[in-house]
Structure 1
Amino acid sequence: MELHHEFTVPVPADEAWRALLDIERVAPCLPGAVVEDYDGKTVTGSVKVKVGPVTVAYRGTAVFEEQDASAHRMVLLAGGRETRGQGTARATVTATLTERDGATAVSVRTDLTVTGRPAQFGRGVLAEVGDRLVGQFAVCLAERLTERPQHLAEDDEAPQPLDLLRTAGVPLAKRAAAVAAVLAVLTVAATRLRRRRQHTRSR
């Protein structure tokens, strides 16, 4: 699926460009993301996604295929696999920066392919989650660009899983209700079965 987003940060394009390439600096703005290594081109890390009671962790790499400083255009190829499962996620992210009146408009096009549990929610829900995540990222990035470096280390906390229910709100919660209901039924059934076995053994 292809997703399009645009946001604005309150700094000139050159400064915004340097900030977006400073992976360690912007990673805390991505919920659930952890950067393990970055050599200037390839990022190795992980991300956790939470859907109700289920948490899915992905581990993988992202490679800058293109970094055109003069055109302020970058292309990132990312891929990951569930650490406990067969699900995968792949994305080609193209970002273009355009300076406007001292600020910078960032246009992002994402070609995304997801398999496994998160894929069950469909394109509409994933697009809505993407919209909200980009909005949160833009606000966080703008704050970091206008804060002093010494304050950033004090504010950083351990990354929490990306909570899709909290991020997408009611629409996603409705779609996830069926999954949650199935899990609840299975839990109740398992509990009753254990009680029956215990009751039988006590006779």
Structure 2
Amino acid sequence: MELHHEFTVPVPVDDAWRALLDIERVAPCLPGATVEDYDGKTVTGSVKVKVGPITVTYKGTAVFEEQDETAHRMVLTASGRETRGQGTARATVTGTLSERDGGTAVSVRTDLTVTGRPAQFGRGVMAEVGDRIIGQFASCLAERLSEPAVPAVPAVGTEPQPPAPQEAEAIDLFRTAGVPVAKRAAVVVAAAAVLVLLGRVRRHRRLGHPRARR
């Protein structure tokens, strides 16, 4: 599925470009994401998604395939796999920055492919959730960009150490999507729970009441 989002941040385009490439600085603004390592091109980390009683964690990598500073255009290819399941997620994200009224307009186009449990919700739910997540990200990013970056000062005689990655709280789709979307997602979750329950009941009956041999 293809998703498109746009938001603005209150800083000049060159400042916004540098900030968006500062992964460690902006990663805390993306709900559910944890960055474990970044070498300037490849990001390694995880994303947690929660739907009611189900929490799905994807671990994988994202690689900057393109960083055109002149055109202010970046292309990021990401792929991940469920840590406890067979589901996968792949995305190609193209971001373009342009000047707008003294600030910066950020256009994000995502080509997303998801398999496994979250895929059951369909494009409509995924698009609405994406809108809200991008909205949260834009608000957080705008707040961070309005604050000056404060470099860490290492103690005398010690080498500076990178901060340890902090595990992010899972994206709660019920909270993020709101009641209408959550109700539609709940139907899927409830149906899955019923199927699992019926399967257990049937297995219990077969184990508890074996057929007599003829």
Q: TM-score, normalised by structure 1?
A: 0.86
Q: TM-score, normalised by structure 2?
A: 0.82
Secondary structure at the aligned position of 1:57 is classed as strand
Corresponding residue number in structure 1 for 2:212: none
Secondary structure at the aligned position of 2:37 is classed as strand
The unaligned stretches of length 5 or more in structure 2 are: 152-164, 205-214
Distance 2:79 2:189 in 1: 28
Percent of residue pairs bearing the same amino acid type: 76
Distance 2:143 2:111 in 1: 27
What's the CA shift for 1:2? 0.6
**Pair 1:173-2:173 in alignment:** no
Corresponding residue number in structure 2 for 1:48: 48
Corresponding residue number in structure 1 for 2:82: 82
Corresponding residue number in structure 1 for 2:23: 23
Distance 2:58 2:167 in 1: 17
Deviation readout 1:87-136 (Å, 9 max, x if unpaired): 00000000000012210000010000000000000000000011111111
Secondary structure at the aligned position of 2:55 is classed as strand
Corresponding residue number in structure 1 for 2:149: 149
For residues 7-156 of structure 1, the aligned pairs below 5 Å read: 7-150=7-150
User: What is the RMSD of the two structures over their aligned residues, measured on CA atoms?
Assistant: 2.5
Give the number of the structure whose residues are more often helix, by fraction: 1
Distance 2:147 2:100 in 1: 21
What's the CA shift for 1:176? 2.3
Deviation readout 1:70-94 (Å, 9 max, x if unpaired): 1100000000000000000000000
- Structure with max Cα Rg: 2
Distance 1:136 1:29 in 2: 7
Deviation readout 1:30-64 (Å, 9 max, x if unpaired): 11111011000000000100001100000000000
**Pair 1:160-2:169 in alignment:** yes
Distance 1:84 1:30 in 2: 22
Distance 1:129 1:138 in 2: 14
What's the CA shift for 1:142? 0.2
Distance 1:120 1:5 in 2: 22
Distance 2:89 2:195 in 1: 29
Structure 1 stretches of 4+ with a deviation exceeding 4 A read: 184-191
What's the CA shift for 1:174? 1.4
